[in-house]
Structure 1
Amino acid sequence: MKAFHAVHWGVSLGAVLMATPLLAQTAPAEQAAPGASAITDIIVQARRREEDVQDVPAVIDAVTSAQIDKLNLRSFNDVQALVPGLELSSNANGIGANAKLRGINFDVNASGNNPTVEFYFNDAPITAGAIIQQMYDIGQIEVQRGPQGTLRGRASPSGSITVSAKKPDLYGYGAYVDLTANDIGTMNAKGAVNIPVIEGILALRAAGVWDENEGDRVRAANNPDPRSTTTSGRLSAIAKPLDWLSFEGTYQYLKRNAQSYDQAISFSEANPDAAPSPVLITAEDRLSLQERPRPIHQRFEIYNWRAEAAQMGQKLIYQGQHYTQKLYSADNFDDAIFFPGQIVDQVTNTRAKATSHEVRLQNEERVFDFLDYVIGFFDYKNASRTNLTTPTVVRLPLLFGGGVAQIVNTPIARPTNEHEQSFFGNLTAHIGKDTEISGGLRRIDYSFVGNFSVGGRVIDAQDRDEGKLIYNASVKHNFSPDFMVYASTGSSWRPGLTAIGDFNLAPSALEKSFVNVPPESSKSYELGFKSTLLGGRAQFNVTAYHQKFKNFPYRSPTGIFYVNTVAVTNASGTVTGVSQQVGQFNFVSPVPVEVNGVEADFNLAVGSRLNIGVNGSYSLGKIKNGVVACNDINGDGIPDVTTGTPSLADLQAAVGADNLATCRSNQRSAFLPPFSASLQGEYRIPISRATDSYVRGIFSYNGKSQGDPTNPFDNVSDYGLLNLYAGVRGTDGNWELSFFAKNLFDTTKVISRTNPYFTSYQQLGFGGFSNGAPVFTGPTGASATSTYTGGSLTPPREFGVNFRFAFGTR
Structure 2
Amino acid sequence: MFSAPVMAQEAAASATLPSASASTAENAASQGGLEDIIVTARKRQESVQDVPVAVTAISPVTIRQQDITSIEKIAARTPNFTVGRASNGSGAQLTMRGIGSSSTSIGIEQSVATVVDGVYYGQGRVINEGFFDLGRIEILKGPQALFFGKNATAGVISITTADPGKEAEYYGRIGYEFRSQQVVGEFVASNPLTDTLGIRVALRASKMYDGYFKNVAEPFDYPTIDVATGRTGSLVANPAARNQPGEKELLGRVTLKWEPTDRLTATVKASGSYNKTNNSSWNYVAFNCPGGVSQLTGYACGDRFVTHQNKIPEVISQATPYGKDDGSLYNRYKSWAVTGNIAYTLPDVTITSVTNYQWNNNRWACACDFQSSTGANWATENSTWHAFSSELRALTTFDGPFNVMVGGLYQKTKRDFDQYIILSGLEDSTAAPADRYLATRKTSFTDGETLALFGQATWKIVDTLELAGGVRYTHETKGSYFTQPYNNVAVTSIFRPQNSADGLGVITANQTFNNWSPEATLTWKPTRDLLVYAAYKTAYKSGGFSNGGVNSALSPDPLGDLTFEPERASGFEGGIKSTLMDNQLRLNLNVYSYKYRDLQVDFFNSPIFAFQTLTADARTKGAEFEFEFAPRSLDGFSVHGSINYNRARYTNFPLAPCYAGQRPGEGCNLALNAATNNFTRQNLNGAPLSVAPEWTGTLGANYDAEIGNGLKFGMSADARYSDSYIASGFGNPDSRQGSYVNLDASVRFGASDDKWQIALIGKNLTNRFYVTGVVDGPSTGSGTGTPAGIHADQLGFATLPRTVVLQVSTRF
TM range (shorter): 0.7 to 0.9
Write out aligned runs for 1:708-723 (5 A): 708=728, 710-723=731-744
Checking the alignment, whether the CA contact within 8 Å between 2:735 and 2:794 is kept in structure 1 is no
Write out aligned runs for 1:395-794 (5 A): 407-455=437-485, 456-457=498-499, 458-506=505-553, 508-509=555-556, 513=560, 515-556=562-603, 559-564=604-609, 585=611, 587-606=612-631, 607-626=634-653, 627-631=655-659, 636=664, 639-640=667-668, 653-654=676-677, 661=681, 663=683, 665-688=685-708, 690-708=710-728, 710-749=731-770, 754-758=775-779, 789-794=794-799
Check 1:409–1:602 CA distance in 2 against 1; reply closer, same or farther (3 A cut). Answer: same
Q: Please give the per-residue CA displacement for 1:484-522, whole angstroms capped at 9, x wherever unaligned.
A: 211000111223233354313335357764542222222
* Separation in 2, partners of 1:528, 1:347: 49
1:182 aligns with 2:180: no
Q: Please give the per-residue CA displacement for 1:309-350, whole angstroms capped at 9, x wherever unaligned.
A: 22232122221000001110112245553427x7x4211110
What corresponds to 1:245 in structure 2?
264
* Separation in 2, partners of 1:662, 1:516: 23
Letter of the 2:642 partner, please give it.
N
* Separation in 2, partners of 1:684, 1:802: 17
Checking the alignment, whether the CA contact within 8 Å between 2:108 and 2:546 is kept in structure 1 is no
Checking the alignment, whether the CA contact within 8 Å between 2:636 and 2:705 is kept in structure 1 is yes
Check 1:334–1:476 CA distance in 2 against 1; reply closer, same or farther (3 A cut). Answer: closer
1:26 aligns with 2:10: yes
What corresponds to 2:342 in structure 1?
307
* Separation in 2, partners of 1:720, 1:593: 28
Following superposition, the deviation at residue 393 of structure 1 comes to 2.5
What stretches of structure 1 of length at least 5 have no aligned partner? Answer: 1-20, 397-404, 565-582, 642-648, 761-784
Letter of the 2:803 partner, please give it.
E
Task: Point out the structure with max Rg over C-alpha.
Answer: 1
Following superposition, the deviation at residue 92 of structure 1 comes to 2.2
1:295 aligns with 2:290: no
1:322 aligns with 2:357: yes
Checking the alignment, whether the CA contact within 8 Å between 2:597 and 2:617 is kept in structure 1 is yes
Check 1:498–1:797 CA distance in 2 against 1; reply closer, same or farther (3 A cut). Answer: same
Check 1:267–1:132 CA distance in 2 against 1; reply closer, same or farther (3 A cut). Answer: closer
Q: Which of 354, 357, 362 in structure 1 is aligned with 2:395? A: 362
SS in 2 for 1:713: helix
Following superposition, the deviation at residue 154 of structure 1 comes to 3.1
What corresponds to 1:580 in structure 2?
none
Check 1:652–1:338 CA distance in 2 against 1; reply closer, same or farther (3 A cut). Answer: farther
What corresponds to 1:773 in structure 2?
none
1:143 aligns with 2:139: yes
Check 1:519–1:266 CA distance in 2 against 1; reply closer, same or farther (3 A cut). Answer: closer
Letter of the 1:539 partner, please give it.
R
Q: Which of 152, 155, 159 in structure 2 is aligned with 1:159? A: 155
Following superposition, the deviation at residue 267 of structure 1 comes to 7.2
1:191 aligns with 2:187: yes
Following superposition, the deviation at residue 274 of structure 1 comes to 8.7
Q: TM-score, normalised by structure 2?
A: 0.81
Checking the alignment, whether the CA contact within 8 Å between 2:288 and 2:795 is kept in structure 1 is no
SS in 2 for 1:535: coil
Q: Please give the per-residue CA displacement for 1:195-216, whole angstroms capped at 9, x wherever unaligned.
A: 21112x1111100111223554
Name which of structure 1's ranges 786-795 and 300-309 shifts more when overlaid on structure 2: 786-795
Write out aligned runs for 1:125-140 (5 A): 125-128=120-123, 129-130=125-126, 132-140=128-136
Checking the alignment, whether the CA contact within 8 Å between 2:297 and 2:371 is kept in structure 1 is no
Check 1:526–1:104 CA distance in 2 against 1; reply closer, same or farther (3 A cut). Answer: same
1:235 aligns with 2:258: no
What corresponds to 2:787 in structure 1?
none
Q: Which has the higher strand share?
A: 1
Checking the alignment, whether the CA contact within 8 Å between 1:631 and 1:639 is kept in structure 2 is no
* Separation in 2, partners of 1:790, 1:413: 27
Q: Which of 262, 266, 276 in structure 2 is aligned with 1:257? A: 276
% identical equivalent positions? 18
Q: Which of 417, 422, 446 in structure 2 is aligned with 1:386? A: 417
1:796 aligns with 2:807: no
Name which of structure 1's ranges 493-502 and 748-757 shifts more when overlaid on structure 2: 748-757
What stretches of structure 2 of length at least 5 have no aligned partner? Answer: 13-23, 218-238, 313-327, 428-434, 486-497, 500-504, 782-789
Letter of the 2:629 partner, please give it.
L
SS in 1 for 2:606: strand
Checking the alignment, whether the CA contact within 8 Å between 2:382 and 2:418 is kept in structure 1 is yes
Following superposition, the deviation at residue 749 of structure 1 comes to 3.7
Q: Please give the per-residue CA displacement for 1:331-383, whole angstroms capped at 9, x wherever unaligned.
A: 2245553427x7x42111101100000111112xx324333321011101111
Q: TM-score, normalised by structure 1?
A: 0.82
Check 1:322–1:683 CA distance in 2 against 1; reply closer, same or farther (3 A cut). Answer: same
- Give the number of aligned pairs: 717
Q: Please give the per-residue CA displacement for 1:379-421, whole angstroms capped at 9, x wherever unaligned.
A: 011111101122332679xxxxxxxx98443221111111110
Check 1:591–1:130 CA distance in 2 against 1; reply closer, same or farther (3 A cut). Answer: closer
